Every structure is written in structure tokens, then in C-alpha cells.
Structure 1
Amino acid sequence: MNKLLFKSIREYKKQSILAPIFVILEVFMEVLIPYQMANIIDVGIQGQNISYVIQIGLELVAMAMLALLFGALAGKFAAEAGAGYAKNLRHDIFYKIQSFSFKNIDHFSAPSLVTRMTTDITNVQMAYMFSVRMLARAPIMIVLSMIMTFTINADIAVLFLIAIPVLGFALIFIAKKAHKYFIKVFDEYDVLNNDVQENVNAARVVKAYVRGDYENQKFQKISKKVFDLFTKAEKIVAFNNPVMMFVMYSVILTIVLIGGQAIVLGGMDAGQMTSVLVYAMQILMSLMIVSFVFVMIMIAEASTDRIKEVLQEVPEMQNKENAVTEVKNGDIDFENVSFSYAGKDGKLSLKNVNLHIKSGQMIGIFGGTGSSKTTLVQLIPRLYDVTEGSVKVGDTDVREYDLEALRDQVAMVLQKNVLFTGSIYDNIRWGDENASDEEVQRVCRLAQADGFIQDFPYGYDTTIVEGGNNVSGGQKQRLCIARALLKKPKILILDDSTSAVDTKTDALIRQAFREEIPDTTKIIISQRVSSIEDADQIIILDNGEINGIGTSEELLKTNQIYREVYESQVKGRSEDE
């Protein structure tokens, strides 16, 4: 296990210490039982001393009851320690992910992070739980049983000194061979989970295009790869059991041979022989337990490396000391901004962008697919950091702000709208968890969502299923706009967020923006000219560069890209009419 991960034990240190303590007490009882059994045979039965047999028998019952009690307590504390450790690990990873920028998340991928928080943590939990119990039990059992065996017959005890190193070498050899396959298999689990998640999310598309067979074949191919890797690893680990059994039976046969000769020659009693065999079984079973836990640790070690990667990942964006916590207004300035997703040496998505937007303006952003419209607006709430230049909000570089303070004042309705499982009230209150029902309903009216919500049987208490699949695309967009409005931001960004609503509703939403939030800077990305036609300024992007800035009238005279799209869409509208 890793020191970094051990920090997550925290309040479960007590259980982690008590578990091995009770295991040791349990082992003491189990080691004393064979010794007393030998006394019953050699002293009580052979000496025909019934009172001695009863006395020692009662002591054995008491020892057995104590061993049971100590074992139960050890199991209880080990289970609490393992489950608590896993709970804290999940907490630490989840909180770490919350601090990640988009770039950090892209580095791992969402399915990979899910696998690390589920399968990998379960592996670590099981290994830890068995470690605090079994790894404390096995060494103590081996040492005490060895001591008791030495007191009875030193020749037999020497056998264990030979067998233990042999088994230790075999375990280390197996571990080194299997570890690399366990690492690979969990990486393939990420691919498998990604395929399952993608298929479930796109179930409607799969069925619409009758691609079920193709998806089955793709899944089968990935699943077969996981199977092959696990098979290779398990084939190596499988050698562990035959080696253990071979050594165990070899030792027992040798003990019987040596002990039998000692009894015949008078150097050992039958009861002592019985107790030595019990001690031999205890030692060899302890080695089997060590072997079992060792295999679990091998698997957990691969998971530990993957969990450690997440915990050691340095968030790309971090607050500076004395970060600015107040956004003065909605002014936005881009000064010589260039940006690449791959860093300084990567291909630039934005090139030398200069923009000056005044607080309260409505800005339209227009351009073809791949012109970096979304990339541009993602720099405003600092979802990514600029590669060159600076982005300022309220006359302050966004890198100087406290991230939470900045993002509280920049509400963004993303291109891919997301709703969460829960009521409509719950979803809208993501914008402000303390908002009253009246405030929620007000922003829904501004977003032109109140009408269809009232038509639902349960109104605002209607449950949104996972992903918002029980509402239409246009309804989902309007709910997301209402959620953003509830934040009462200084800057509102709509990234193609009205594409699924009709032009009349779109116009009503923009009218509400002008009348109800005049001091909020409004940035609207759209492929539809009618959505940005009345903007104070329209920014034309082409291949990551600003191709033109102006009002709709000005751009019709000066910008070819805007004029061509405008004419094609206006002509299309005229023909439809």
C-alpha cells in the first residue's frame, strides 16, 4: 500500500489498530489449545486422571470461547476499518476531481475516473481489510507455533525454517510476473466502461440506426481483451496454490516420519505428536492465508497506482494567495489572446484575439463549425487558461480571481445541456440553492419555460430522469437557461443554447434578457442569424481569428461570411413564408 493513500484512514485508525490486537489475542488462545490437548492425552488419559481431564477440558472450552469472542471483535473492527478507509478514499478522490480543470479531466477521461472510484477502491478496501486482520494473524501464528514446536521437537521445527523461505521466494516471483497484467487489465476496464457508458447514453441513436449488432461486436471485442489479460494474470497466480499444497504436504509427511520414529524410540509422546501436527497445520494454513492476502495485495497494488495518479494530479488552475473575490462589473477584455488545448507547442485554436465588451451589452458570436466559438467563451469563466495574452473581467485578469467567485458571476449554458435526476425545482436551484419557489418560477418565465412546466401533471415538482430524457431538447435548453438566470450573474453566456427552440420563443427569451437583466453582459453563440441579429455587437470568428466585428447592418456591408449566411437564411425564411 502507498503512504499517500494511508492518509485517508484518518478517523478509522482506532479500528485499524484494534483489529490486529484482537487477532493477536485470538491467536494466543488458538496456540495454547493444542498444547493443552497434548496434556490431556499424555497426562490425563494415559495417567487415567479423570479430574485432570475435566479441569483441562474446561480450560479448553474457555479458550475456545475467548478465541471466538476475539475473532468476532477482530472481524468487526477490520470490516469497519476497510469500509471506512474506502469511504474516505472515495471522498478524497471525488473532492480532488472537483478541483480539476477541464484539461485535468480530459487527461483521465470520465469512465476512467468512475472505474478508479468504484472497482479500484473496492480492490484496495478488500486488501486493506484482510491485511489488518490476516497479516497480523499469520506472522504471530507462525512465530508462536514455531516456538511451541521447538519446545516439543527441534528437528521438526527446523523443517519450517526451510519451508517458509521457499514459499516466500515463490510468492515474490509470482507477484512480479502477474503485476504487469493487472495494471493492463484495469486500463482496459476504463475502455470497457467508456464503451458501456457511450452505448447507454446513445441508446436511442443505436436503435434508430439499427446498430445493435455492431455495438455488441465492439463490446465483445473489448470484453475479450479484458478476459485474455485476466486469464494471463490468473494463470500465473494459479501456480501459487499448487506450490503451497506441495510444500504443505511434504512438510506433513516429513513430520509424520520424524515423529513416528521418535514415538517408537521413546523420545516423543503420542499427545505431543498430535499437538505438533496441529501446530504444523496452523503454520501452513497461516502461510496459505499470507498467500491469499498477497494475491489480493497484488491486485490492489495495480489499483493503488491508479488511485495515486488521481490524488497526485496537480489541478491546472489554482487560486493565488489573496485572490480577488469580487467581480466589479461585466466588462470583458481579450488582449492578444492565443490558445491551444495542447499547450504552448500545440496547434493554436485561437490566434491573437482582441475584444472589448462593455458591461450590459448583448454580444452575438457567429462562425462556422470549428471556428473556436466555444473555446473563446470558455476562457471567460477560466474553464481553460490562455496560452498567450490575457482575459479580463471587470478590469481584472481572470487568473487573479478566486475561481469560485469568478464562476459565480459568469453563468454559462453549455452547448451540451445537462439536467440532473430530481425535480424541476431541484434542477433550477443549482443556480441558487436558497432560492424561493417564486424566484424559481420567475426565472422560468424569463426563459419561456413556465408554460410547458405548468402543463406537466406535477408542475415544478415533476421529476427529471437521468440526463433529462423525459423532456424535449428545447425544453431542456430553456430549463438550463432558467438555472443560469437564477445565479443573477454579471455575465451570461449561451453557447448555442436556443438552437432547439422556435424563432418566436427565441425572440421572447432575448426580449426578456433586455428588459429584465439590462446590466448583465449577454453573450449568445448561434448558427442562426435571427438569434443574434439585434445584438449590440456581432463577432465573426473564422479559423480561430476575428474576421469581423459590428452590428448586423455594418457586417452586411463589410463582412462576406456574415452576408452570405444572412442572405441564405433570410431567403430560406422568405420561401417558407
Structure 2
Amino acid sequence: MLKLYRFLKPYTTYIAVIIILLCVQVLSDLYLPTLMADIVDNGLANKDVDYILHLGRFMLLIAAGGTLCAILATYLSSKTAVGFGIILREKIFTKVEEFSLHEFDKFGTATLITRTTNDVTQIQQVSVLIFSMMITAPLTCIGGVIMALQQDKELAWVLVVTIPILFTVIGITLKRGLPLFKVMQKKIDKLNLVLREKITGIRVVRAFNRIEKERVRFDDANADLMDNAVKVNIIMAVLMPAMMLIMNLTTVAIIWFGAIRIEDGTMQIGSLLAFIQYATQILFSLLMLVMLFIMVPRAQVSAVRINEVLATNLDIVDPEKIELASSERGFVEFKKVSFRYPGADQPALSNITFSVKPGELTAIIGGTGSGKSTLVNLITRFYDVESGSILVDGVDVRAMSQQALRAKIGFVPQKTVLFSGTIAENIKYGKENATMEEIEHAAHVAQATEFILGVEAGFDHEIAQGGTNVSGGQKQRLSIARALIRKAEIYIFDDSFSALDFKTDARLRAALKPEIADATVFIIAQSISTVKDADRIIVLDAGQISGIGTHKELIDTCKVYGEIVASQLYEEELA
């Protein structure tokens, strides 16, 4: 957890002020019992009202000052801890933004959400305690022992017996509780995973009548978390009564043996009362440390999980020296490219070699799992090649900054993603400073204008989270408009026309031609009708190129392509 506290540098002044305020508060608390003893032994014993009032006013002043310091310290502690939480969330979010798809696959979405929210909250909460208790508890304990010894050294043996017993109880409790704290966050991850799958997949759940099954899954994860939490709370529930019992027995022992010393004339009543208060302060300071020990282990688990994210070595990083691209824009070349997903036995792509010039339309076709989407994910550098190289404008993509590379690309993913906000904002996502005229033009080319103007708010129509209030075809058209508005050098359409009807598809392709005529275009598709007019068709089979050429050339020379053509023609004839 200490690694994370390096991010507290902006709050150094606050922390220094907190320490000063808490020191003043502790001195105030430690001084009050001595003043009370003085009032009892000198004021009450001598019936000196003026002396009592004088010291009483002084005690009120000391108490008010200590209270004010405590309030200010608590305010600054809370402000520092909340600011610390903001910094941590920002650091995690920024780091996750830099992740390649490999890192996302490694962690998983559910745990990244938990680490950014729940884990940071744990750190934030324990930080408030650390800023206060970590300072006040040791100072109060040490100061209380010193002040108690000044009142009476003979009674100190009661504390010598009590404190080891107290630490023994604390040690046994923490030994049993710590392993359960470590498991807690993993169980929260599991609950979040089940909940996220249930919510995002609600249509599938209902379509297959799996509501009860999913409820059982959630209940099992929820019960698992509850069982762990109950075990932790039972252990901690035993601790507080045990602590209070020890504290009360300590007070009884002090009063018992203190009364004997008063009767012997070796101790005054005021000193006994002060000793009792100092003993209480000592034990309460130890109780504060116990609360800290309870919170810190769970926060430590959260800190480890946050550090795992922040310390992740990125697979894809920008080079220190950025190479400049040639004057030719949109030229893409694959040179003996191979790629294997982490942990996979077989490569997803093997020895891929081809080149594409601006103004050419290249279609990529093949069976499911043949590597089509993987190939374009390498162009955008969502993954890095295992061997070989990919050149864009004559420069290896690994020698370019990711921002510069992706600024050249208009990408329409296979799984359409829309964001909450208006239709105009979703289209504008492709070009931040786009004018309304550019937005309308992109929507017109993407054949989205008709359905946009069909809704009451038009371009100001709100898209629900995940785009659940628009159809699959409407999503695809908005996604295409978002890519077109970039005026990119390279366009990638990853199975982006699958949800469109034949008439809309034809209109869209006709409108697209002049828009992307000078760009390098990649189209991934399953349909022969979609790819047959391409300048070049690349046929993939089990991650390897089975054939490259035009539609007419591949029918005669590529067996895999011929089989795809035959199967689709057969289906059309049956229809």
C-alpha cells in the first residue's frame, strides 16, 4: 500500500497540517486529566472556589482548542483521502486506456471495474483512519503511559499485565481474520461478473427462459460472499466485547488497588481519577490501532490488486523514436506476418504477405475462425505481430505512435458499439471538431438520415447505453457514419453490412464509392455478393492465405473460395 501513497505528493501540505493539528489535539487530551486531578486535590480538598473556577475555565479553553484541532484534522483528512481516491481512479483509468486487447483478456472487465470502484473505496476509507489514528493512537498511548507514571508508578503494573493480554487477543483475531479479508475481494469480483453478464445478456437470458438459472447463479455468488462476510464479522464481533471486558476489568483493578493506596495515604483521589483516565486513553488508543489493523489488511489486498493494474507491463507501447511516414498515404503492406494469441497452441495467422495501395478495395473472406478479424486488428495495432512486420505508408506500425496510426484509420468493428448520448454525438465521436454539416453528410452517405429524421428529436435523439433503443442495422449505419466522418486514409469494415437489408446495402455501397475512392479499403465479409466486385480478394483458411485475386481468378484457382461460392449459390437456389 506504501507504493500507492507516492501519489499523495499534491497533498503534502495538507498532511503536514494534519500531523500538527493531531499532535495539538493529543497534547490537549493528555493535559486535561492532570488539570482535573489538580482541581480535585487542591481545589475541592481546600474548598477553594476561585481556584476551581480558574482551572475550570482553563480546562474549557484547552478542551475547545483540542476539539477545534480534531475537527479541522478530520476535515483535511477526509479531503486528502477523497482526493487520493480521485487520483487513484484517474491513474487506473488512464492505465487501462493504454491496455492492448491482450491485457483486457488477462484481467477481464468485471475485475477492472471492481478495482476502479470498490478497491479504491477501500483504500480511501482506510486512508482517513490512517491520517488520524496512525498518528493519534501511538502518541496517545506513549503520552498516556508517561502521564500515568507521573501520577503513580506503583499502579503501572496493572497496565503491564493488561497490555500483553490485549495484544494476545488482537493477534489471535487478526490471524483468523486476515485470510478471509484476502478472499473477500475475489468474491466481490465473482458477484460483479455474474451481475454484469446477467444485465448485458438480458435479451438472451429471457429468450432462452434462463431467468431462474441466472437467479440461482447470482444467489450462489451472493451467498458465497455473504458466508465469507459473516465469518469475518463473527470474528470481529468477538473482538470488541473482549476488548471492552479487558478495559472494564482494568478500570476495576485500578480502582481496587488505587483505593488501597489512598487508604494507606500514598496516593490522592485526584491522582487516582487521572490515572484511570490515562489508562482509559491508553486502552482506547490500542482499540483505535486494532480498528486500523482490521481495516488495513483488507485495504492491503485492494492495494495489491490496484498495483497489479498500475504495474502491468504493456504489450503495445509507442517507440521512443517515432519514424515519419512517406508521402504516399494509405499504403498497407504485410510482410510474412504471424500471430498467436497468448496461451494458444496454434497461430491465428501464419506467414501473411500482401500489399494494398490507395484507391484499392481489398476484401477478406474465409470461414469462421480463419483469422479475418485478427488480421485487421493487427493493422490497427490492437495486437502486435509475433513475427514479420506490417507497414503503413512505408513505416512499421511498431515504429509509429498509436495515436498517429489510428488517426489514419476509419474503423467499423464487427461488434457495433454506440455510446450513451445523442445520435450527433455518436457520429461526432469519429471527429471531435466536426460541424453539423459534416455530421449530416456522413449520416446521408451511411443511409442513416431517413431513420434519424424519423424520430422526434432527429440528430438530438438520445441513444441508450449500449444502443439498446436502435436496431442492429441502425447501429451499423451510425457506426459507418462515425468512421466516414474522419475522412481517413484507410477504412476497415469488419463485417459491417451484415444487418442491412439488400436494398439499403446496395444504396450504401453506391454512396460509399465516391467517398472512399482515394482511400485504402478493407472489407471483411461472409457473403460472396459483398466481396465479388473488390479489386482484390484475400481468402483465409486456418490462419493462412489460401488465395489472392479477383472473383473470376479465385473461382478457378482457389479451392476454398470455390467451396464458399458453391455453398452460397446452392443456398440461393434452394431459397
- Partner residue, 2:299: 300
Counterpart residue identity of residue 25, structure 1: V
Matched residue SS, 1:96? helix
Partner of 2:78: 79
CA distance in 1 between partners of 2:101 and 2:164 (Å):
50
AA aligned opposite 2:484: L
Structure 2 distance, partners of 1:81, 1:221, is 38
Structure 1, 401-410 or 328-337: larger mean CA deviation: 328-337
> For residue 564 of structure 2, what is the amino acid of its counterpart?
V
> Secondary structure in 2 aligned to 1:291?
helix
| Cα distance between partner residues in 2 of 1:539 and 1:172 | 67
| Post-superposition offset of 1:360 | 2.0
2:46 equivalent in structure 1:
47
Structure 1 pair 325–404 and aligned structure 2 pair: CA distance change class (3 A): farther
Aligned equivalents of 1:131 and 1:40: distance in 2?
35
2:325–2:395 contact (8 Å) kept in structure 1: no
**Does the CA contact (< 8 Å) of 2:30 and 2:278 recur in 1?**
yes
Cα deviation, 1:106-132, whole Å, max 9, x if unaligned, reads 111111010001110000001011110
Shift of 1:295: 0.5
C-alpha distance in 2 between matches for 1:380 and 1:258: 83
Secondary structure in 2 matching 1:297? helix
> 1:492 offset after TM fit, Å?
0.8
For residue 201 of structure 1, report the CA deviation from its aligned partner. Answer: 0.7
Q: Secondary structure at the match of 1:482?
A: helix
**Match for residue 249 of structure 2?**
250
Question: Structure 1, residues 377-411: CA drift from partner, whole Å, max 9, x if none?
Answer: 11001110111111111121111111110011122
3-state SS of the aligned residue for 1:391?
strand
Match of 2:332 in 1: 332
Aligned residue pairs, count: 574
Which residue in the other structure is 1:56 paired with?
A: 55
What is the TM-score normalised by the length of structure 2? 0.96
Question: Which residue in 1 is equivalent to 2:401?
Answer: 402
Are 2:342 and 1:342 aligned? yes
Instruction: For 1:473, give the aligned amino acid.
Output: G
Q: CA deviation at 1:218?
A: 0.8
CA–CA separation in structure 2 for the residues paired with 1:552 and 1:55: 104
Q: Which amino acid aligns with 1:271?
A: G
SS in 1 for 2:538: strand
1:170 and 1:75 mapped to 2: Cα distance? 29
Aligned match of 1:446: 445
Cα 1:6/1:419, change in 2 over 3 Å: same
Question: Structure 1, residues 407-458: CA drift from partner, whole Å, max 9, x if none?
Answer: 1112221111111111111111111111111111111111111221111111
Instruction: Give 1:185-204 correspondences, 5 Å limit.
Output: 185-204=184-203
Task: Quote the Cα distance in structure 1 between the aligned partners of 2:164 and 2:83.
Answer: 35
Instruction: Please state how far the C-alpha of 1:503 moved relative to its aligned partner.
Output: 2.1
Q: Quick one: which amino acid aligns to residue 115 of structure 1?
A: T
- Contact map agreement 1:325 1:405 (CA 8 A) in 2: no
Take 1:176 and 1:121, find their aligned partners in 2: how far apart are those partners?
24
Say which SS state the counterpart of residue 360 (structure 1) adopts: coil
Unpaired runs of 5+ residues, structure 1, are: none
Q: Distance in 2 between matches of 1:405 and 1:168?
A: 60
Preserved CA contact (<8 Å) 1:335 1:389? yes
Name the SS for the 2:479 alignment partner.
Answer: helix
| Correspondence for 1:535 | 534
Amino acid at match of 2:301: A
1:59-458 map, 5 Å:
59-324=58-323, 326=325, 328-342=328-342, 346-458=345-457
Note if contact 1:29-1:64 (Cα within 8 Å) is conserved in structure 2.
yes
Residues of 1 paired with 2:154 and 2:215: CA distance?
A: 63
- Shift in Å, 1:239: 4.4
* Partner amino acid, structure 2, of 1:339: F
Within 5 A, what are the aligned runs for 1:515-526? 515-526=514-525
1:459 aligned to 2:458? yes
Query: Counterpart of 1:42 in structure 2: which amino acid?
Result: D
Q: Which residue of 2 aligns with 1:499?
A: 498
Aligned partners of 1:323 and 1:354: how far apart in 2? 24
Map 1:459-478; keep pairs closer than 5 Å: 459-478=458-477
Separation in structure 2 between the aligned mates of residue 163 and residue 504 of structure 1, nearest angstrom: 87
Alpha-carbon separation, structure 1, partners of 2:391 and 2:367: 26
Output the CA distance in 2 between the equivalents of 1:47 and 1:396.
96
Secondary structure of 2:365's counterpart equals strand
Please give the root-mean-square deviation of Cα atoms over the aligned residues, in Å: 1.8
User: Which residue is equivalent to 1:18?
Assistant: 17
Name 1:508's counterpart in structure 2: 507
Q: Is the 8 A contact 2:540 2:546 kept in 1?
A: yes
Report the secondary structure of 2:155's partner residue.
helix
Question: 1:158 & 1:536 partners in 2: Cα distance?
Answer: 94
Question: C-alpha displacement at 1:573, in angstroms?
Answer: 4.1
- Counterpart of 2:47 in structure 1: which amino acid? Q
Q: CA deviation at 1:316?
A: 0.8
Give the stretch that moved more between structures: 109-118 or 224-233: 224-233
Quote the Cα distance in structure 1 between the aligned partners of 2:452 and 2:369.
35
Tell me how far 1:33 sits from its aligned partner. Answer: 1.4
The 8 Å contact of residues 325 and 394 in structure 2, kept in 1 or not, is answered as no
Q: Which deviations, in whole Å up to 9, do the C-alpha atoms of 1:14-52 show, x marking residues without a partner? A: 222222321221121121111111112111111011111
CA distance in 2, matches of 1:450, 1:191: 43
Contact 1:179 1:302 in 2 (8 A): no
SS in 2 for 1:389: strand
User: What displacement does 1:288 show?
Assistant: 0.9
In structure 1, give the amino acid aligned to 2:482. R
| Gap runs ≥5 in structure 2 | none
Secondary structure of the structure 2 residue equivalent to 1:546: strand
**Quick check: 1:259–1:273 contact (8 Å CA) kept in 2?**
yes
Distance (Å, rounded) in 1 between the aligned partners of 2:182 and 2:308: 13
Q: What is the rounded CA distance, in whole Å, between the counterparts of 1:323 and 1:171 in structure 2? A: 57
Decide whether aligned partners of structure 1 residues 59 and 403 sit closer, same or farther in structure 2, where only a CA change above 3 A counts: same
CA distance in 2, matches of 1:53, 1:463: 72
Please state how far the C-alpha of 1:574 moved relative to its aligned partner: 5.5
- Distance in 1 between residues matched to 2:516 and 2:414, nearest whole Å: 22
Q: Residue 366 of structure 1 aligns to a residue in which SS?
A: strand
Conserved in 2, the CA contact under 8 Å of 1:325 and 1:402?
Answer: no
Q: Secondary structure, in 3 states, of the residue corresponding to 2:143?
A: helix
What's the CA shift string for 1:479-498, capped at 9, x where partnerless? 11111112222111111111
